[in-house]
Structure 1
Amino acid sequence: MKNYLLIFSALVFVIFIGFAGASNSEKINSELLPSVATSQIIIPTANGSFNEEAPIPSQCYTKTEGTNNPCYTCHQTYNSSKNDKYRTNLRNDGVNQGLYNFSDEGETNSWKNLFVNRQPWIKKISDKQIAQYVDQDNYSELAKKLTATDWQGFIPDLKDYHLASEAFNDKGIAKDGSAWVAFNYKPFPGTFWPTNGATDDVLIRLSPEFRQLNGQYNENIYLINLSLIEMSIKELTEIDIFSADENIIKRDLNGDGKFTANVDLLSTQEYFVGDAHQIEIPRQQYPVQTEIMHSVRYVGVNGEGNTYIPKRMKELRYMTKTQLLNDSAIDSAYRRERKEKLDEQLPSYIRVKDRGFNNKFGWLIQGYIEDYNGELRPQSYEETFFCMGCHSAIGTTIDQTFAFPRKITGRAGWGYINLKGMKDAPSKGQQEGEILQYLQVNGGGNEFRENMEMFNKWYKADGSVDKEKVKKADVFELITPSKQRAYAMNKAYTQIVRTQSFIHGRDVNITPAKNVHKKIDESVAPLKPEHRVEGWDLRLDWSAKPEN
């Protein structure tokens, strides 16, 4: 099998090294980034995977020393007794905090990029060069290039997306009429904090009937339907909305038994509104044809030394909901997943050509990533296979998604992501701020506990967290890097881009990782029982008042 995977065509080389041919970026970026020999460039396979356990993320190989727990944010078991609210995620994998449930193949850490010393590469790039590279637009030409290659999958259609917040109005709705909606959410703990190498945003789009009233686009209808999904995902009985006229919508939105002209509270509904009024609201699932787009970007640094979301994208990720699963189908899917894990079977997913991988839970997943010249190109088979671990069957997600359940609840959460002024809201059911809790439970600012800037900033000399200092800071201050670290992380990642070595890992590290296993000893539990965390919820309690 692996000998077969070594065979590739000239076409594959063209697609993955310089997508759709040479462009101005080839000349520009040859002056900004060091070149590498062709022999150092990895050519992704068109089909199949060298790493047959690519869905196991690098973070699962962390050396926890039995006490440092980054595992709880992904692996959880929830009480599903009759007295508790039903949760559609039935993976219940909290036990994985206490054991390595890996196949023989998975026991070997294939994420070789973790162990590369990036310092020599970093020294070759000046701050001015990396700042210029990061501020380039590598998004706008993608749609044209995909169309030219007769691409049959998703073709990004949001105008000016490279401009980040400028592409949206103050309610998060795309200015170009494409119906993409940005929302403000708290980045998932660990890897997705900007201090660990990337900024990001997430958008959602519903199909036309959810945006229309009598066949015409209606902003109120659209935002109300999005809010109804939010209520379902978060198990809320009411949520605040932008003022709406019940007489026009023909629905008692606030449940007071009458139609009112100015309503700003939405109560539980059985059906969506507008032209989707006959569609029942699914429980903790998104409607069919829901689309989610996620850009992962470099960390921009402005003239004042503050970080921001720049133009250049490292990746563009896309999901589309193709099927609703009933309770029986959900239960069967999770039972099958658990059995495959217990039997130590290798993961397998159906690839629907250019449309991406079927994650077995009603979603198709595809992505785009930088080629050698920094232009976005379609991910290869193995590069997309990597995405399946987090978006198929881990215990904490809701309908296999992370960001939307973490949206600032209600009206205040519609708008492009903005961490400034955002409070460290606790996880649902917890008392302390989520970031404060993570720093204490994990013992570091990323899963590998090797972000020394976070140690120096938020920990005391004795290794304990400086709680009072953390409580006084907003999310932006807590999880964004210094100018120097941002530059270094950006530079380090470009070596992965130049070598196209994404199949060996996308984590940004400056020096070789030390707190990471190269080989798993399954006889040693990841964590001692007293250091495991039960009942953690990725949803947040935005109504909670900060502890004094």
Structure 2
Amino acid sequence: MPHPAARMGLVFLVLAGLALPAGAESPVVDLKTTVLKNRTAYIPPQCYTKTEDAAGAVHNPCFTCHAESRAPHFINDDDLQTAYSLPGPALKNPWTNLFVDRRAEVAKVSDDEILAYIRTGNYLDENGQNLLAAKLADLPPEWDVNGNGRWDGFTPDVTYNFDADGFDIGADGRMTGWRAFAYYPLNGAFWPTNGATDDVMIRLPAAYRETADGTESRLVYETNLAIVEALIRRAPVPIAPTDETALGVDLDHDGRLAQALFVAFDWAPKEGQNMSWVGLAQSLQAAGSAPLAAGLYPLGTEFLHTVRYIDVEEKSGQIAMAPRLKELRYMRKTRWQTYFDRQEGALAEAKERVDFPDRISLFFGSSEEGVTNGTGWRLQGFIEDAQGDLRPQSFEETVFCIGCHGGVGTNDDDTFAFPRKVPATLGNGGWWHWSQKALYGIPEMIRADGAPEYAHYLQANGAGDELRGNTEVIERYLTETGALRPAPVAGFRADVSRLLYPSPARALALDKAYREIVRDQSFAKGRDATVEVQENVHREVEQDQPTGITKPLAAWYQ
């Protein structure tokens, strides 16, 4: 019987033509060093975008990340929309992969060859066996950073066997704890048309999945996840009719235990308005070991995010997630921070930026145990080696992830995807994996100010990516003067896939280009899938150089 991952259209083929050339030496990345070649690896390539074009027009992709925050995130960095406020060591752009012309290499690879490569799984094999977990169990010495003979980091355990409610079901028939959710891709680099497909799953600790006596309960878990969603959205969340008496919690805050149709958002402790977990977590909350607060995930929350190649289905030509992973990213909340803790940290960071503008951030951890972000989360990841197998990310490759998770204004408890979870009205409460239902037919997200999210970004940026290198999107949706084309824009209002998915030709070209970075193992120089030299990127900037943007734009939630 084929593994359930076959629902993703997985086809496991023998690789042909994409191995390293005969006799070529495979590049090796040192996984044990914590010395950064790029000391500001946490500042992403997009921060070097030329926001003014040759004609003097100003483009603003910066508001996607840099904006006024909503508590308890207190970064409030909308000033970074108006100036390149980089520390001295970062003034010269270190992301030199943006300036590599890969057209000749891309032309040498046939479509059949790249499809064979991306359709060969490097996380699960054709029988659904976890290749990465098996390798971590038989640990290569070069991965054993602390030298104790065992892997002390996270071992990926999602099976990609999702049920109708988005729960991942293990080989034993029980929930693994992971639950997939659908979300609106963040503007710019995370649109599939700019280089990759991806998915995100959440897992709460066991206490949030169990009744008071420690028995696993899907109802308890579903309810606690709905409570988390209400806390992160700061809004009520619809749920299936739920017996509050059985759970012992007034979920809809109507003053009685009856049947609830939604979880109310009603958290203002100073006014006596509180919320409660259900099940075992409720008892732990009363004991002080399972804190709850608006805008914050429970202690021990985990996220798993895979970044993948872009597949093209043979018969329909539709875009799909490829079996092959580019990266597997993981983060776990290991320390609880109160509103006061987070505000104090943000104020200290803001003061340091003013007092010591050339001081860079320092990070602690390793490729084996992950890297802490300073605000309670530990991040870790895996990425392809030169042969396409997954390996741990190096310390520097992991630091790359830190800048966006905790260091920018538009985070919610250092995350992006879950706050942008699709509404329950789109079906299954918004809980499904992209292999079960893709972006096709998903209507455009509406911002808090009433504007359509993606059209707003196109208008503000004059492009569909920060680098303004995606000419396919520009030509389809913008006029020569940068105005929106009404008919095409109206087309993605009801179906965002029209905008967010690339043409088959572009998809395969981006796959081929990224494969060259894998071969070189040059992720420390940038991992954006670009075919041509990117012209709309500064190679060097002056400190506090104006961007040309004079009025910062608001984030999607404002």
Q: Does residue 296 of structure 1 match 2:303?
A: no
* Amino acid corresponding to residue 90 of structure 1 in structure 2: F
Cα deviation per residue 1:292-329 (whole Å; 9 max; x = unaligned)? 00000001100121101121100000000011101221
Structure 2 residue aligned with 1:145? 135
Q: CA deviation at 1:523?
A: 5.6
Is the Cα contact below 8 Å between 1:34 and 1:125 reproduced in 2?
no
Amino acid at match of 1:480: Y
Amino acid across the alignment from 2:526: G
Aligned to 2:51: 64
Aligned residue in 1 for 2:278:
273
The 3-state SS of whatever aligns with 1:386 is helix
Q: TM-score, normalised to structure 2's length?
A: 0.85
Q: Between the two proteins, what is the percent identity of the paired residues? A: 36
Task: Note if contact 1:102-1:341 (Cα within 8 Å) is conserved in structure 2.
Answer: no
Contact 1:436 1:467 in 2 (8 A): no
Q: CA deviation at 1:132?
A: 1.0
2:312/2:319 contact within 8 Å kept? yes
Within a 5 Å distance, the mapping from 1:79-478 to structure 2 comes to 87-139=71-123, 140-149=130-139, 150-159=150-159, 161=160, 167-176=161-170, 177-213=175-211, 214-236=213-235, 238-260=236-258, 262-268=259-265, 270-278=275-283, 279=285, 280-303=291-314, 304-342=316-354, 343=356, 344-351=358-365, 354-410=368-424, 412-417=429-434, 418-428=438-448, 430-473=449-492, 474-478=495-499
Pick from 60, 63, 66 the counterpart of residue 75 of structure 1: 66
Amino acid in structure 2 at the alignment position of 1:264: L
2:230·2:263 contact (CA, 8 Å) conserved in 1? no
Q: Is the contact between residue 397 and residue 538 of structure 1 (CA under 8 Å) also seen in structure 2?
A: no
* Aligned mates of 1:39, 1:141 — CA distance in 2: 24
The more displaced of 499-508 and 42-51 is 42-51
Deviates more, 1:351-360 or 1:443-452: 351-360
Q: 1:360-417 CA deviation, whole Å, 9 max, x = no partner?
A: 0000000000001101100001101111110122111011000000001345211113
Aligned-partner Cα distance in 2 for 1:36–1:57: 34
Task: Give secondary structure in 1 for the equivalent of 2:167.
Answer: coil
- Name the CA shift for 1:37/1:242 in 2 (closer, same or farther; >3 Å): farther
Aligned partners of 1:250, 1:241: CA distance in 2, in Å?
A: 16
What TM-score do you get using the length of structure 1 for normalisation? 0.87
CA contact (8 A) 1:295 1:315 kept: yes
Q: Is the 8 A contact 2:373 2:379 kept in 1?
A: yes
Change (3 A) 1:490 1:538: farther
Give the 3 Å change call, closer, same or farther, for CA 38–51 of structure 1 in structure 2.
Answer: farther
1:461 deviation in Å?
4.0
The structural deviation recorded for 1:489 is 0.3
**In structure 2, the residue corresponding to 1:299 is in which secondary structure?**
strand
**Contact 2:15–2:120 under 8 Å retained in 1:** no
**Residue 514 (structure 2) pairs with residue 500 (structure 1):** no
Deviation at 1:283, TM superposition (A): 2.4
Give the deviation of 1:184 after TM superposition: 0.7
Contact 1:33 1:125 in 2 (8 A): no
* SS at 1:298 equivalent: strand
Displacement of 1:93 in angstroms is 0.7
The CA deviation string for residues 2-37 of structure 1, in whole angstroms up to 9 with x for no partner, is: xxxxxxxxxxxxxxxxxxxxxxxxx95463345387
- Structure 1 residues 97, 487: closer, same or farther in 2, change over 3 A? same
Post-superposition offset of 1:41: 3.2
Aligned-pair CA distance for 1:472: 2.6
**SS class of match (1:377):** strand
Q: Structure 1 counterpart of 2:342, which letter?
A: I
TM-superposed CA distance for 1:339, in Å, is 2.9
Give the Cα–Cα distance (whole angstroms) in 2 for the partners of residues 37 and 461 of structure 1. 49
Cα 1:283–1:404 shift into 2, 3 Å? same
* Partners of 1:538 and 1:55 in 2: CA distance: 25
Distance 1:48 1:325, change over 3 A: same
Secondary structure at the counterpart of residue 345 of structure 2: helix
Q: Given residue 477 of structure 1, which amino acid in structure 2 is its aligned partner? A: R
Q: What is the distance in 2 between the residues matched to 1:59 and 1:168?
A: 34
Q: Give, in whole Å, the separation in 1 of the partners of 2:112 and 2:295.
A: 46
- 2:395 and 2:351 mapped to 1: Cα distance? 25
Gaps of 5+ in 1: 1-26, 79-85, 162-166, 540-548
Q: What corresponds to 1:35 in structure 2?
A: 21
Once the two structures are TM-superposed, the CA of residue 447 in structure 1 deviates from its matched residue by 0.3
Give 3-state SS (helix, strand or coil) of 2:359's partner.
Answer: coil
The answer to whether the Cα contact below 8 Å between 1:249 and 1:273 also exists between their aligned partners in 2 is yes
Q: Which runs of 4+ in 1 moved over 6 A?
A: none
In the aligned structure 2, how far is the partner of 1:341 from the partner of 1:493?
35
1:350 deviation in Å?
1.2
Q: Following TM superposition, by how much is the alpha carbon of 1:273 offset from its aligned partner in structure 2, in angstroms?
A: 0.6
Q: Gapped runs of 5+ residues in structure 2?
A: 1-12, 124-129, 140-149, 266-273, 286-290
Name the SS of the counterpart of 1:294 in structure 2: strand
Matched letter for residue 235 of structure 1: R
Distance 1:256 1:463, change over 3 A: closer
Distance in 2 (alpha carbons) for counterparts of 1:480 and 1:113: 24
Moved more, 459-468 or 515-524: 459-468
Q: Supply the AA of the counterpart residue of 2:307.
A: V
